[in-house]
Amino acid sequence: MSPRVRRLAIGLGNPGTEYEGTRHNVGFDALDRLAGRLGLLFRSPRHLDGWNGTRACSVALSKEGEGAWPRAFALAKPQTFMNLSGEAVLALQRWAGIDPKDLLVVYDDLDLEPSVLRLRASGGHGGHNGMRSIIDALGTNAFPRLRIGIGRASTDAVRHVLGRFQDSERATLEVALAEAGEALEAWLGGEELDRLMTRFQSRWTQGG
C-alpha cells in the first residue's frame, strides 16, 4: 500500500477535561501547540480516506497537497486513555502505511527533570504504560520518541503524573513545549533524526 502520509507524530495523554493540563498530558499539549502554530485542526479519523480503525483518536493533516496522497505529515492524539495507547497507534500506523521509523511519539518522562527534553531513535518503555502498550502493539521499540521531563514524584507516582503543573512551573514548561514543537516541525518536514538530535541536543544539556 502506498503511504498516506510520509511522517506521523503522536502525542500521548488521557482524553477528557479532567485530565487537561496534567503532567501525563504533555504529549497532547506539545501537539496542540504545534497544530495551533501551523493552523491545523484535530478531527475524528472517521473522515480520513481509508480509515478503518476501531479505536478513537484525533488527527490533524498537513495542508500541503490537500486532497492528494501522500500528505507530508499527520499529527495524532489517541483517545483510548494512556494504558491502551498502542491500540490507537497501531491503527494509525496501518492507516498511514509507514514503517515505525517514520512514527514519532511524544510523551512525559518521570526520569527527566521538569521540562528537560530528550530525543531518541529507539528504546524501552522505561515503566511508562503508554509506551509499553505501543511497543507491545507494534512489536518493536525501534521508533523515534521525544520525552518531556515532568520530574520525580515526592510521594505517589500516580498522583504526581495526574496532577497539574504548579504556576511556578508554567513558564519553563511553555519554553519546553515550544522547543518540542520546533524539533517536531523540523522532523515532520523531513529532517533526518540523527541530524536533528545533534542540532537540538546541545540545547538540552540537563537530565539523563
The answer to whether 24 is a known catalytic residue is yes
Catalytic residue among 24, 125, 128, 160: 24
From the CB of residue 146, how many other CB atoms can be counted at a distance below 10 Å? Answer: 24
Instruction: At 75, give phi and psi (nearest 5°).
Output: -110, 145
Beta carbons of 118 and 146 less than 8 angstroms apart: yes
Paired sense of beta strands 103-109 and 145-149, if any: parallel
Rounded CA-CA distance 66/75 in Å is 15
Point out the residues that are catalytic: 24
